[in-house]
């Protein structure tokens, strides 16, 4: 069963980005996810299966 990840959720991954931040904002969902690093703003596309394996924590974005 797929994880319940919504737009603008903050996902914490098991591995850190080279900038030192492990938290990413979800910008696009579907077969692939577009994530934006909260540390440096770098954006990546990652397949759903790979993301679901590497997610440590999911939280809603505080407005």
Give all domains of the chain, ordered by start, each with its CATH number.
Answer: 10-59 (2.30.30)
52 CB neighbour count, 10 Å cutoff:
14
- CA–chain centroid gap for 57, Å, is 10
Flag whether pLDDT at 57 surpasses 90.
yes
What local confidence, expressed as pLDDT, does residue 1 receive?
67
pLDDT digits (tens, 9 = 90+) for 14-56: 999 999 999 999 999 989 999 999 999 999 999 999 999 999 9
Is the predicted pLDDT of residue 2 greater than 80, yes or no?
A: no
Q: Which residue has the higher pLDDT, 14 or 62?
A: 14
Q: Is the pLDDT of residue 63 over 70?
A: no
Which residues, including other chains, have CB under 8 Å from residue 49's CB and lie 6 or more apart? Answer: none
């Amino acid at each position: 069963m797929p994880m319940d990840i919504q737009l603008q959720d903050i996902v914490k991954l098991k591995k850190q980005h080279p900038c030192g931040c492990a938290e990413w904002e979800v910008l696009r969902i579907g077969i692939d996810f577009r994530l934006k690093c909260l540390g440096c703003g770098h954006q990546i596309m990652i397949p759903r299966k790979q993301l679901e394996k590497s997610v440590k924590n999911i939280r809603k974005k505080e407005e």
